[in-house]
């Protein structure tokens, strides 16, 4: 009986010890990211709508994730600022300013993608952050790749 109790106690110690291992560290996503936009068209999209949606890809799409939990982004011609958080491979950007103007609760209640949170998925192998948003024209896909440098570029200079 003592042998069984000793084995059970040893197994319990292994299980408890394995459960107490520190979580794997999250990737450091702070720094500069440059984005490229594509539209995955659906059967409802017309050429004119697709062309209008693809204008987003014509602007500068830059993102800076700061270590203090804030971010700055240029989404084509729209400068955004806000807070970001990482949970596993998911990064959530919550805008607090659009075009330099504070976002209000009333702004968030409108169906306006510029004022609502953005969800991005981090792919460690590709070192990319990907944001997808379904529209009536199809699914807009923004893929951010890590920039060459962590310093500011003219695309994100404060004005």
pLDDT tens per residue, range 38-64:
878 777 777 776 666 666 666 678 999
Distance CA 144, CA 36 (A): 7
Domain ranges, ordered by start, for the chain: 31-149
What band does 159 get if pLDDT is binned at 50, 70 and 90? very low
Task: Look up the pTM and report it.
Answer: 0.72
What band does 78 get if pLDDT is binned at 50, 70 and 90? confident
- Looking at domain 31-149, its CATH architecture is Beta Barrel (2.40)
Distance CA 13, CA 46 (A): 63
Distance CA 29, CA 67 (A): 9
Of 4-18, 22-36, 74-88, 144-158, the one with minimum mean pLDDT is 4-18
Q: Give yes or no for residue 106 having a pLDDT over 70.
A: yes
């Amino acid at each position: 009986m003592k042998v069984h109790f000793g084995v059970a106690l040893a197994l319990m110690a292994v299980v408890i010890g394995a459960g107490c291992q520190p979580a794997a560290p999250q990737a450091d996503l702070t720094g500069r990211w440059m984005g490229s936009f594509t539209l995955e068209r659906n059967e409802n999209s017309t050429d004119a709508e697709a062309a209008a949606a693809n204008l987003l890809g014509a602007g500068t799409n830059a993102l800076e994730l700061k270590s203090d939990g804030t971010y700055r982004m240029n989404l084509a011609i729209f400068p955004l600022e806000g807070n970001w958080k990482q949970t596993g491979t998911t990064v959530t950007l919550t805008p607090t300013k659009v075009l330099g103007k504070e976002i209000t609760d009333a702004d968030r209640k409108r169906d306006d993608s510029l004022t609502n949170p953005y969800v991005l998925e981090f792919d460690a192998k590709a070192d990319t952050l990907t944001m997808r948003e379904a529209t009536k024209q199809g699914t807009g896909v923004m893929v951010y790749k890590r920039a060459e440098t962590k310093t500011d570029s003219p695309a994100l200079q404060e004005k």
